Amino acid sequence: MSSKTENGQRGIRISFEFFPPKSEEAEVQLWNTVADLTEWQPEFVSVTYGAGGSTKAPTLSAVRRMIHETPFTTASHLTCVGATREDTHRVIDDFLSAGVRRFVALRGDPPGGVGSAYRPHPGGYANAAELVSALRERGDFDISVSAYPEKHPESRDTAADIDMLKRKADNGANRALTQFFFDNDVFERYHDRVRAAGVKIPVVPGIMPIQNLTQLKRFAGACGTSIPSWLDERFDGLDEHADKRASVAADVAAEQIEDLVRRGINEFHLYTMNRSPLVSAVLERLGIRRKADACEGAAA
């Protein structure tokens, strides 16, 4: 693995995920976060999209603004759950009109939420593999899809889960972005099985810096991510010490990335939760240079 990329950042390539705001206060927080994280020069960023189009308007607004007012290469999430093919096509047209040329193609959670039964909408796309095909037929877009090192909660088994990833790759996906995880051995075993199944696209680890361990556990339980006992040990006794808790959270994420780099991985997708301080602290620990620092180094 090269020690330098074209942008001179240690051989580590990063991307960020944001979600659309639901209030005026959240809107301010999002754009402050975007401004703060611009200096890290991510490869691209993505904006989530609610199941059944529940956040279409705010997602479209956020994506349009990022494309036209920031230096970010921006992808919009797109789902097909709860929609006919015609409905999905209209959503794609709206995003294309906004300038979107990158998508994160997802089936989407069932209307009843994670854990409820999924039923394809009559006349709709049944899964993300079909959605990738639909996008590929529309143009030469950059398409990311999801991957699950610990298996999608609804998949029969890991083999079926990897088979779905292969279908998405065969239909034209450019990369897979994984659900977050904390056990790198689990990811490595999964990555080996993915490659053995003939999936050749990059499988990019999703990294979740821990903003709140209690909330994370609830979220992880719903999406099938295991929480190792050592995380409780790292955060033990820090409930009343916000600064120490944030420092440990940054250490944990940076250590996870460093270990994955040693295993030959150099691309990472960071779930920002629309907050910049912890993400920036992680990148600082990794020795990734901010844009201003990189420019000063080049001029020296």
pLDDT of 3: 36
Q: With 50 as the cut, is the pLDDT of residue 5 above it? A: no
The domain spans of the chain are 13-299
Q: With 70 as the cut, is the pLDDT of residue 141 above it? A: yes
What region, left, alpha or beta, does residue 206 occupy, with left being phi > 0 and alpha being psi -120 to 50 degrees? beta
Confidence of residue 176 (pLDDT cuts 50, 70, 90): very high
Tell me the C-alpha distance between 138 and 92, whole Å: 9
pLDDT of 299: 45
In tens, the pLDDT along 261-276 reads 999 999 999 999 999 9
Confidence of residue 9 (pLDDT cuts 50, 70, 90): low
Average pLDDT estimate for 56-78 = 96
Q: With 80 as the cut, is the pLDDT of residue 34 above it? A: yes
Q: With 90 as the cut, is the pLDDT of residue 298 above it? A: no
Mean pLDDT of the chain: 90
Residue 263 CB partners (closer than 8 Å, separation 6+): 184, 188
Q: With 60 as the cut, is the pLDDT of residue 4 above it? A: no
Q: Would you mind telling me the total number of residues written for the chain in this entry?
A: 300
pLDDT of 55: 72
Confidence of residue 50 (pLDDT cuts 50, 70, 90): confident
Q: With 90 as the cut, is the pLDDT of residue 250 above it? A: yes
Check if the beta carbon of residue 70 is closer than 8 Å to that of residue 33. no
Instruction: Name the nearest CA neighbour of 227 among 244, 247, 210.
Output: 210
DSSP string, 16-72: EEE---SSHHHHHHHHHHHHHHGGG--S-EEE---GGGTTHHHHHHHHHHHHHHSS-
Confidence of residue 119 (pLDDT cuts 50, 70, 90): confident
pLDDT of 291: 77
What does CATH list as the number for 13-299?
A: 3.20.20.220
pTM for the full predicted model: 0.91
User: Could you tell me what percent of the chain has a pLDDT over 90?
Assistant: 78
Average pLDDT estimate for 190-211 = 98
pLDDT of 145: 98
Q: Which residues are catalytic?
A: 17
What are the distances in angstroms from CA 15 to CA 64, 103, 199? 18, 14, 21
Q: Strands 45-47, 203-207: parallel, antiparallel or unpaired by DSSP? A: unpaired
Average pLDDT estimate for 233-253 = 96
Q: With 50 as the cut, is the pLDDT of residue 7 above it? A: no
Please report which helix (H) or strand (E) contains residue 215, including its range: helix 213-223
Tell me the C-alpha distance between 44 and 37, whole Å: 12
Tell me the C-alpha distance between 285 and 222, whole Å: 30
pLDDT of 40: 97
What are the distances in angstroms from CA 6 to CA 10, 142, 215, 287? 10, 20, 37, 16
pLDDT of 56: 84
Confidence of residue 114 (pLDDT cuts 50, 70, 90): low
> H/E/C letters for each residue in 3-31?
CCCCCCCCCCEEEEEECCCCCHHHHHHHH
Q: With 60 as the cut, is the pLDDT of residue 14 above it? A: yes
Check if the beta carbon of residue 34 is closer than 8 Å to that of residue 63. no
In tens, the pLDDT along 81-111 reads 888 999 999 999 999 999 999 999 999 876 6
Tell me the C-alpha distance between 44 and 70, whole Å: 11
